[in-house]
Structure 1
Amino acid sequence: MKIEIIGNKKIHLILFHGWGIGKKIWHWIKLELSKYFTLHLFDMPGYGDNCNLYVHKIQDLIYMINQYIPQKCILIGWSMGGIITNHLALQYPKKIMAIINICSSPYFIKKNNWPGIEINFLKNMLNELKKNYRKTIINFLQYNVPNIMKDINNYNYIHNTLLKKPYPKPFILKKNLKIIKQSDLRNKIKKIKCPKLNIYGVLDKIVPIEIIYYLERKNTKSKIINHTAHLPFISQSKNFCTIIKKFISTLQNL
């Protein structure tokens, strides 16, 4: 498994991307965070540097990732990546110092008395990704960060780097969607003892901010970022990095 490591600082941050987009999504924050931390950027199996690596079960994926992360690290998971961080903290609690989940949920699907996303939205997005991956990702970025393509640097990065092939294959996207639909950690996350920060975008339609009322527990902090949706680390990158640094500064035994 190939991993990009940036920086040489004492504290190690392990970053896990979401559904459909690999580790290149961290472009907007990796330079700033690497001034203070060592970053480990993972491409999940089927994405980017690991496009030819396939893992069939999430338990096997968690076991594999554990082989590559250092002791006393801090996990950061965006969207689907939060499923990975929660599983790692549950299975290897002594190894994890803290968790930071961004626009994520222990259960993504909307149910009675549980805020989430309609399953048909995810199915439609899967179909759009299969038909035209490039166009679908651009639309997703523009929906969540409306002015993103007006900046020439963003425009060039998205077209020339973020959307550079290879793209995740349709069966990988379908497999990831299955993980999103079936992962229900609502009861299990109560067993996570390490400090945890949940970051939300006030305009997010995928993970509604109402979820914070269902996830309150000891050692958990929640932060809602105004004027942002499902990509707060892009639309509010400076504010986002400040929140990360402030939370980590409060941790004991650094």
Structure 2
Amino acid sequence: MAERLKIASQGQGLAIVFIHGWGLNSAVWQPCLLQLVDKFQVITVDLPGFGDNHAYSIQAYTLAELAQQVTKAVAKPALYVGWSLGGLVASQIAITQPEQVLGLVTVASSPQFMARDNWPGIKADVLAMFHQQLAEDTEKTISNFLKIQALGSPSIRQDVKCIRDLVMQRQQPQRQVLDAALQILATAQLSEQLSTIQRPFLRLYGQQDSLVPKQVIPLITALAPQSQSYLFKQASHAPFISHQQEFLTVLEDWIAKQFGTAS
């Protein structure tokens, strides 16, 4: 096995690491990176079993291990931007390895994705359905997941096509990896640890997101009062695709305020 995950790095300046979501790969960030590479060092990493790290295996597919593998590959303090599952990984890094984190941005992510008690999120039967579908047809499951991510977006067809065209450029993950990553979404619970994050922390959400519903925003604000949040109107689970220019403006303005980097 390779010693560490492959990463891709472009540009110079503040290092920003982008982490993708479940079932996909780092190619999903390409449209955004084209507009950031002249101002920052942009680093993308495929999680173990995904994209360019398709053949990279780890003994225990856990949130803690993913966080360790990512920081080992990046090997320098950076601003972490994590989408969905990637937001969990980035949050785990900020909680357990704060010396490696200059700042944290989570995109359409939650410290716990599953709906529990009064916590809005993904219903257990939906996760169970995905597990079952994976065993039957991996490609169809990912396709269905893409559609769910874009539900509610006024540009749903374009969003799905854009994401699919981007991620299909890379090797697709095996069912076992998808199952293990799905299990992380089902069991992760970082809520009580969010208050320990002392780095600049920005949370981005989509108003129409069905996977991370907007009702969770005030709950997370209460858990992480030191953080800031922003809601993209009419966006679903991938605001950096459907509202790309607004996403970049919000991100760069926040970076400028936190790090004095010109946008």
**TM-score, L = length of structure 2:** 0.86
1:37 aligns with 2:40: yes
Change in Cα spacing, 1:181 to 1:156, as seen in structure 2 (3 Å) is closer
Equivalent residue letter for 1:234: I
State the partner residue of 1:65: 70
Gaps of 5+ in 2: none
Larger CA deviation: 198-207 vs 112-121: 112-121
Moved over 3 A (4+): 126-143, 145-151, 154-159
Residue 167 of structure 1, aligned match among 167, 172, 183 = 172
Distance, in Å, in 2 between the alignment partners of 1:172 and 1:79 is 16
**Cα distance, 1:194 vs structure 2:** 0.8
Please tell me whether residue 96 in structure 1 is matched to residue 101 in structure 2: yes
Equivalent residue, structure 1, for 2:146: 141
Q: Give runs of aligned pairs for residues 1-254 of structure 1, distance below 5 A.
A: 1-6=5-10, 8-55=11-58, 56=60, 57-143=62-148, 144=150, 145=153, 147=155, 149=157, 155=161, 158-159=164-165, 162-164=167-169, 166-216=171-221, 217-252=224-259
CA distance in 1, matches of 2:256, 2:158: 35
Paired letter, 1:15: F
The alignment's C-alpha RMSD in Å is 2.3
Instruction: State the 1:124 CA deviation.
Output: 1.7
Q: Look up the SS of the partner of 2:49 in the other structure.
A: coil
Shift in alpha-carbon separation, 1:110–1:9, aligned structure 2, 3 A:
same
CA pair 206-149 structure 1, distance change in 2 beyond 3 A: closer
Mark the runs of 5 or more structure 1 residues left unpaired by the alignment.
none
Question: What is the rounded CA distance, in whole Å, between the counterparts of 2:243 and 2:162 in structure 1?
Answer: 19
% of aligned pairs identical?
A: 27
Partner SS state of residue 20, structure 1: coil
How far residue 253 of structure 1 moved from its aligned partner, in angstroms, is: 6.8
The letter of the residue matching 1:5 is: S
Checking the alignment, whether the CA contact within 8 Å between 1:99 and 1:195 is kept in structure 2 is yes
TM-score (norm 1): 0.89
| DSSP 3-state at the match of 2:202 | strand
SS in 2 for 1:249: helix
CA drift of 1:139 comes to 4.0
